[in-house]
Amino acid sequence: MKKNIVLIGFMGSGKTSVGKELAKSLNLKFVDLDTMIEAEEKRPISQIFSQDGEAYFRRIEKEMVRKVCPDRGLVIACGGGVVLDTENMQNLKQHGTLVYLKASPEVIFKRTEGYKHRPLLIVSDPKKRIEELLTLREPLYAQSDYTIDTTHLNIAQVTEQILKIFKK
Ligand code: S3P
């Protein structure tokens, strides 16, 4: 049976938009872990962070990974921090092929600027925060099976590149 396709990468790397396109093209089901967490918690992620903190969010995120992973034939868009947890990585790798959507800090800053729904970037210097978090996470993202540099690509072009991998 077909393994899942798991999209990982930093906030603003296009996981959700690309995931939807990809799922449509491959006739697979699309799931977005953040959306599922919000549905289960009945509140937006920004509110989960402000009311219960990041550690609580990470626990819920881990439970969602456990729940979703064993299914088959999914395109899964993960939150940018899913890679921070070793068990998440094991589960995602065991049940899926990991594709890292990479982007430069400058492009991530431009893509995320002005949006208020990402609590980790609501700081006085979001650009610096992006650089710091990327430096920490890059080795984790790099454990993926495939890496697509999305810095100069649009959603359709990224989707096309991933399709080439899976249509081989
Ligand atoms: C996070 C990324 C967000 C969301 C939460 C934490 C992170 O998802 O899960 O705000 O730690 O990078 P997106 O990557 O979809 O923005």
pLDDT(1) > 70:
no
Residue 22: the pLDDT is 97
CA 6 to chain centre: 8
Kindly report the average pLDDT of the chain as a whole number. 95
Q: pLDDT by residue (tens digit) across 38-50?
A: 999 999 999 999 9
Smallest Cα–Cα separation from 6: which of 69, 57, 58? 69
Residue 1 CA to residue 73 CA, distance in Å, equals 8
Separation of CA 27 and ligand 1 centre (Å): 26
Cβ atoms 68, 36 nearer than 8 A: yes
Closest CA to 111 of 157, 151, 160: 151
AA identity, residue 139: P
Direct distance between the N- and C-terminal alpha carbons of the chain, in angstroms, rounded to an integer = 17
CB of 80 within 6 A of ligand 1: the answer is yes
Is the model more confident about 66 or about 166? Answer: 66
3-class DSSP state of 154: coil
The per-residue pLDDT for 115 is 81
Query: In the predicted model, is pLDDT for residue 2 greater than 90?
Result: no
How far is the C-alpha of 165 from the C-alpha of 168, rounded, in Å? 6
3-state helix, strand, coil in the chain (%, to 5): 60, 15, 30
Rounded CA gap, 32 and 129, in Å? 24
Is residue 165 predicted with pLDDT exceeding 70? yes
Ligand 1 centroid to residue 162 C-alpha, Å? 22
Rg (CA), the chain: 15
Nearest in space to 154 (alpha carbons), one of 107, 118, 113: 107
Chain segment 118-159, per-residue pLDDT in tens? 999 999 999 999 999 999 999 999 999 999 999 999 999 999
pTM above 0.85, yes or no: yes
Pocket test for ligand 1, best of 48, 120, 140 (most atoms within 8 A of CB): 120
Whose alpha carbon is nearest atom 10 of ligand 1?
118
Separation of CA 81 and ligand 1 centre (Å): 6
Whether the CB-CB separation of 117 and 43 falls below 8 Å is answered with no
